[in-house]
Chains A and B, each alone.
Chain A
Amino acid sequence: MKNNDNLPEPEVFTSKIEETIDDLFKPAKQIEIDPLTQEVKEVATEQQKVESKSEISLELAIEEPLTEEGKEVQQEPEIEVTGSKSTAVNKDEIVQPEQERQALEADREEEPQIELELVEEEPAILEVEADENKQSDEVLLTLQRLREDIYTIEWEISRKELLDSVSELQKIIELPEIKSDSIALTILSLSAEVLKNASKAPNEMKSNAPSILKRAIEAVITLRSGASLANDEIETVKQHLHSLLIPKARKSPKAPIPPQTEPEAHQKFENTWPELESTISTDTSKEPEWNEEANKLLLSHLKELQKQVNRIIPLEQLLLKTSGMEKLYKFQKNVRQDLEKEIERLSRFFFKDLDINLPKPERTYKHEDYESEIASNRCPWSQLFTLSINGLEIGIPVEEVVYNAQPPWLSKSFIKKTNILPLSKLKPWPWSKLSKLFKNRLAKVTESELTKMKFPVVKRLGNTELTVAANFYVIVLFNGNKGAVLRTQESPIMINVPQNAKCQQATDGSFAGEIEINGNKISIVTAESVNR
């Protein structure tokens, strides 16, 4: 009830939310997503292009006098009058193509005086300010990235996310702008300490930790963006962060740990951070057994990861050359690349000083080369049923073979003579179900439809007459539209088409193409080709 007293007026409340939605929910940049691969590409608008070029040339105009002549700020007047204006014009003429120069000049016409004044009066100060702004922007961007990580932790606490955040924090703490800001440094160091502890046992992380961390990062962002922050808020944030670290202090058997002073907190973070990044060279004296064991584990983990990468590669190759599998190929490729990145990251992080031997794939695999090779000589068939008919080697794509067996004795003589084979004649017994006899594209066809189906029997392949032996096999081909029946002397053997096979497709004749494997030529027969 007490809370209800403070309930906002819904109308006012919602209109405030709507304003916030309008402010926040808008694109900060122009992007495009590839509809097939879902890759995100950044698109610069025409205006942005012109603006960026304008900025570049302005920077050149400002920088030129200083860099070329190497003069200090005190020498500005001499430089700017003689150098900067003329250099700006010259640079434009040299660097910019005619169109861009016109666009740039059109832009400049709007504020010619301001720009010239800026260039003439304080070029060096401008540059320093620009640098400072740039650095400050970078710090803010990094902090915003960190905030994103913390938001993620709020949704899901995982060791990976925690370690990522610690790593991000470490980078921020190393920035000179942060090192010189004692408040930000303390808050960030304490946050890092909290995250680091949590990463050791994510399940034991306090439920309010993410919101405290978020508040801490928000406080630093506020400080860095130049806005003022109440001392109370800073103190509260620090206290909350300390409170998250207290359980660790309680575990200490004897004297409780005194509250940390700001430099101590940072120092502590710096000292404990290497635990996480423990390379073989550090801390071995303190915990040699643990380190050795941990390193062994890590190394075996890395080897296992590399093994998985090596397993994915052939699968990736197979998918790449199989039509219709492009997306699955891309999925596998992404998995492999993610694993490789992880291996590299871990190796660099934990074993940067060591030359570790990870199992490499058997053949050096250059993806781009392979892709272009495959693209130029792509085989549409990955698996074939092969057999010999009167000395002619033929191959049938596995996916087209819907039936492959000796004929049922009941209708053997009929099948031997017929030119058109009703599929119902393949029933071993009159009461047998046809639907259980077929695979691939006929696997899901209903019984009644199968009963109605009739396929022509192939009597000739190219110049080869097909004779029927006493004990023959029946192979039924079906591609979804057309079907055909082959009567062969032998049962076919399934083979995988190797990568080095040379393929040639044909659009006429009774063969769909030819494939050469280790010098042996195999003519490809499909339901389509024998019905031509």
Chain B
Amino acid sequence: MALIDLSKREVHCKIVYYGPGRCGKTTNLLYIYNSMNSNAKGKLLTIETKGDRTLFFDLLPLNLGKINGFDIRIQLYTVPGQAIYEATRKLVLKGVDGLVFVADSLRVRRNKNIESLKDLMHNLKEYNLDIHTMPLVIQYNKRDLTQSPIPTLTVEELEQDLNRELGAQTYEAAATKGIGVFETLKDISKKTVRYVATKHLLNPKKQMEKAL
């Protein structure tokens, strides 16, 4: 859940990049961290293990500065995609405000995408959260590989597999080159902040008005 401290006038939003192992979640954060101006970002905390895969999670804090006297911060997290790290994935999802589902365009990863999305829905349920009501953006990563001989999925296939029911905003991306990375980030950040503000700031105001 977003942390809103009215006395300190601070708003913290948590966005989690979710997806199957090796789909490019950490690459998204790496790209953001390395290409963005330093005035809004903190340091990227990342813990890697065998084969450079994420073992625990990555965290990139972003600070929007003061807006209307509120200090707005966005924390970007990734989860370890590999199936065995289920407990960690679930833990990282705790208190999530916005989600980016990063799907792998490689054809061989088709089932992993679907499994990972199901896993996400299942884990959200554990926290009484519903993917349909949460800010969600789907990123189809590794689109640059469509030009290579490696078999890839078409956008239609990805839509059919992952977004048929959700109808979420989607972005085609090649995270290693930065294509679609900031578009995804901007969209999910806006959606999340709007969601958090509406949920936590609008309601107290309405309640006050009703009371008066």
B61 touches A31 (CB 8 A): no
**Which of B34, B38, B175 is A148 in contact with, Cβ under 8 Å?**
B38
- Among B62, B65, B176, residue most surrounded by chain A Cβ atoms (within 10 Å): B176
A22 at the interface (CB under 8 A from B): yes
Do A35 and B27 have beta carbons less than 8 Å apart? yes
Instruction: Collect the chain A residues with CB atoms within 8 Å of residue B175's CB.
Output: 33
Q: How many residues of A contact B (CB 8 A)?
A: 45
Complex contact A40–B41 (CB within 8 A): no
Q: Please tell me if A48 contacts chain B, counting CB pairs below 8 Å.
A: no
Closest to B34 in A: A40
A331→B64 contact, CB < 8 A: no
B87 neighbours in A (Cβ, 8 Å):
none
Q: Mark B117-159, 1 if CB is under 8 A from A, else 0.
A: 0000000000000000000000000000000000000000000
Known contacts A40-B30, A327-B51, A330-B52: A25-B193 contact under CB 8 Å: no
Known contacts A331-B48, A331-B51: A147-B34 contact under CB 8 Å: no
Q: A14-B194, A331-B48 are in contact. Are A26 and B72 (CB under 8 A)?
A: no
State the Cβ distance, B207 to closest chain A Cβ, in Å. Answer: 9
Most chain B beta-carbon neighbours within 10 Å: one of A12, A144, A148: A148
B36 touching A27 by the CB < 8 A rule? yes
With A and B bound together, what is the CA distance between A293 and B70 in angstroms? 49
Cβ distance A69 to chain B, nearest Cβ, rounded Å: 41
- In the bound complex, how far is the Cα of B32 from the Cα of A26, in angstroms? 8
List CB contacts (< 8 Å) of B66-118 with chain A: 67-70, 72
Residues of B within 8 A of A3 (CB): 6-7, 9
A27-75 residues with Cβ-Cβ distance < 8 A to B are 27-35, 37-38, 40
Bound Cα distance A144, B198 (Å): 33
Report Cα–Cα, A372/B94, bound state, in Å: 48
B41 in contact with A148 (CB, 8 Å): yes
- Chain B stretch 14-64: residues in CB contact (< 8 A) with chain A: 26-27, 30-32, 34-43, 45, 48-52, 59, 61-64
Which B-chain residue is minimally distant from A331 (CB atoms)? B52
Which of A91-99, A151-159, A433-441 makes up part of the contact surface? A151-159
**Given contact pairs A22-B186, A25-B186, A17 touches B51 in the complex (Cβ within 8 A):** no
Q: Which of these, B27, B42, B52, contacts A151 with CB under 8 Å?
A: B42
CB pair A156–B72 under 8 Å, yes or no, is no
A31's partner among B31, B39, B186, B205 (CB-CB below 8 A) is B31
Whether A8 and B201, one on each chain, are in contact in the complex, defined by CB atoms closer than 8 angstroms, is: yes
A16, B62: Cα distance in complex, Å: 16
Would A28 and B6 count as touching, CB distance under 8 A?
no
CB–CB A151/B41 < 8 A: yes
Q: A17-B64, A21-B64, A331-B51 are in contact. List 6 more A-B contacts (CB 8 A).
A: A10-B198, A13-B70, A27-B182, A33-B30, A38-B52, A40-B34
Residues of chain B whose beta carbon lies under 8 Å from any beta carbon of chain A: 6-7, 9, 26-27, 30-32, 34-43, 45, 48-52, 59, 61-65, 67-70, 72, 175-178, 182, 185-186, 189-190, 193-194, 197-198, 201-202, 204-205, 208
Q: List 28 A-B contacts (CB under 8 A).
A: A4-B204, A4-B205, A10-B202, A12-B68, A13-B68, A13-B197, A14-B197, A14-B198, A17-B67, A17-B72, A17-B190, A21-B64, A24-B36, A25-B182, A26-B36, A31-B35, A33-B176, A38-B26, A40-B30, A148-B38, A148-B41, A148-B43, A151-B41, A151-B42, A151-B43, A155-B61, A330-B52, A331-B48
